[in-house]
Amino acid sequence: MRLRVVLFVMATWVLSSASPALARPGGGGSYHGSGTTGGGFGGGGTGFSGTGVSNRGGGGVPLGPFGTLILLGIIGGVVVLVLVQRNRQARGFQAAQYDATAAQRASASLAPLQARDPQLTEQSIAQHVMPMQDQLRNAWCAGNMLPARPFVSDGVYSRFQVQLALMRQENRRNVMSDARVLALTVEAVADAAPLDVVHLRLTAAARDTEVPCNASDAQIHAALAKVSAQPYTEIWTLVRCTGAQTKPGDFQVGTSCPKCGAPLAGGEMLKCRYCGALVCSGEHDWVLAEITQLSEWRPRQQRAPGLDALRGADAGVAAEVLEDRASYLFWKWVEAARANSAAPMRKCSTPALLASGARWEWARGASDVSVGASDVAKCVVGAPDGQDHVDVLVKWSARFNGSPAYTPCRTVVRMARKSGVQSKLSMTALICQACGAPLSDSDTTKCDHCGVELAAGDQAWVLEAVMQPGQS
């Protein structure tokens, strides 16, 4: 009887420890799996239930030698299966979240935006999202997100770029095939001046696996042939400036300037060479601002404390812009922590934060990092230090120090900017506000082109603190 109890406890422990705390969103080791977050959070773990063994009179039924061998065999088989599953999870094969009801869901009304843009329809949005999804997935699998840059925000672009870099360090490459969209519905619509916001519930399916970075085409094909296409559901958030109009049906998403329609040349992913427009700003067309894990997404119920006061001081402020900037800063923090180098953060963080160590120990041993959601928590206007401050709660998960289990984390990113600064509404801040040149990751606090100081918060929001929730 004691042996049976010990084996039962061992099996229960192995099974429970095999399940990660959270599934990854659109990223980490998998483009989808959202999240990612890709893009996230949520996703079920492996459950275990069993029937209790009756102990009559305190004795129990003896197993005998053959019974013991059979029980050992069963437990051994369970352990092997669990270890295989743990290995798959460690390599990014976790099941993605999937909404089986997606095809039957009704879409939210676009009426709040159609009064200003009568050409806006579910079909026009789908015509944008389909090529976005294809280009984003192809860029991810190729290991270079630059082709997707014209229609993604700073936060989304940084998220995927950092995840790809971390995977390369671990000799891992995510590959996909047989991808298809199963359902696309409008989940919510917001006339949130100065932005139009549309949240989409995107359900798709694809074969998804990992290979070494140097895998040949034949090896990739063989690896994908071993897995079946799995469905997943994500919430995509599209934003554009209030007043932007729907593009014609033949507009080439990702390869044409959203302002003048001219073709974008290779490497011309931030600014159009013909009209000078910032193509990923959201000023002229939809930009993918966030991919949220299904379990983490919630409609915005109310404004964060202090946000209205901040908007009163700077009309270019929007919650989505602040959250995207915080997401960008979070990923630069993760990149710096993993590299044990301040260079990725130098232009976008205060010198005081870098001098303090920037809490890198919280992310130094992290792999398969993924963000489930970023939400503005608090804004402070005109603080005694002459700065405005914004706290953004980032919900993320990661595997730490080689563990197969995913640990959920909540971190507050505090941003600072000089009080009185007026910003132009944009989903990108990766250009120098003084000279317009794109910013690089060189290990200096100044613009490499004009020499203006960037880390003081005189232009854009900079990272001032990394904290736990509840810290001030």
* Digit-coded pLDDT (tens) for 141-153: 999 999 999 999 9
Compute φ and ψ for 197, nearest 5 degrees: -130, 130
Cβ pair 7, 75 in contact under 8 A: yes
What pLDDT does 300 receive?
Answer: 80
What pLDDT does 319 receive?
Answer: 93
Residue with tokens 């010198």: 351
Cβ pair 15, 46 in contact under 8 A: yes
**Token output for 47:** 């459950």
What pLDDT does 321 receive?
Answer: 93
Distance CA 159, CA 278 (A): 20
Cβ pair 239, 125 in contact under 8 A: no
Q: How many CA atoms lie within 13 A of 328 on its CB side?
A: 25
Q: How many residues does the chain have?
A: 472
What SS3 string covers the chain? CHHHHHHHHHHHHHHHHHCCCCCCCCCCCCCCCCCCCCCCCCCCCCCCCCCCCCCHHHCCCCCHHHHHHHHHHHHHHHHHHHHHHHHHHHCCCCCCCCCCCHHHCCCCCCHHHHCCCCCCCHHHHHHHHHHHHHHHHHHHHHCCCHHHHHHECHHHHHHHHHHHHHHHHCCCEEEEEEEEEEEEEEEEEEEECCEEEEEEEEEEEEEEEEECCCCCHHHHHHHHHCCCCEEEEEEEEEEEECCCCCCCCCCCCCCECCCCCCECCCCCCCECCCCCCECCCCCCCCEEEEEEECCCCCCCCCCCCCHHHHHHHCCCCCHHHHHHHHHHHHHHHHHHHHHCCCHHHCCCECHHHHHHCCCHHHCCCEEEEEEEEEEEEEEECCCCCCEEEEEEEEEEEEEECCCCCCEEEEEEEEEEEECCCCCCCCCCCCECCCCCCECCCCCCCECCCCCCECCCCCCCCEEEEEECCCCC
For the beta sheet containing 230-241, the strands, ordered from the edge strand earlier in sequence to the opposite edge, are 173-192, 195-211, 230-241, 287-293
CA 445 to each of CA 247, 368, 415: distance values in angstroms, whole numbers, following the listed order: 39, 29, 16
Give the residue ranges of the chain where pLDDT is below 50. 1-29, 31-63, 71, 75, 77-95
What pLDDT does 216 receive?
Answer: 96
The pairing of beta strand 195-211 with beta strand 173-192: antiparallel
Cβ pair 272, 280 in contact under 8 A: no
Q: Position 174: which residue type?
A: N
Distance CA 335, CA 332 (A): 5
What pLDDT does 23 receive?
Answer: 28
Radius of gyration of the chain (CA): 24
CB under 8 Å to 355, separation ≥6 — which residues? Answer: none
| Bridge partner list, 219 | none
Residue with tokens 């992290």: 366
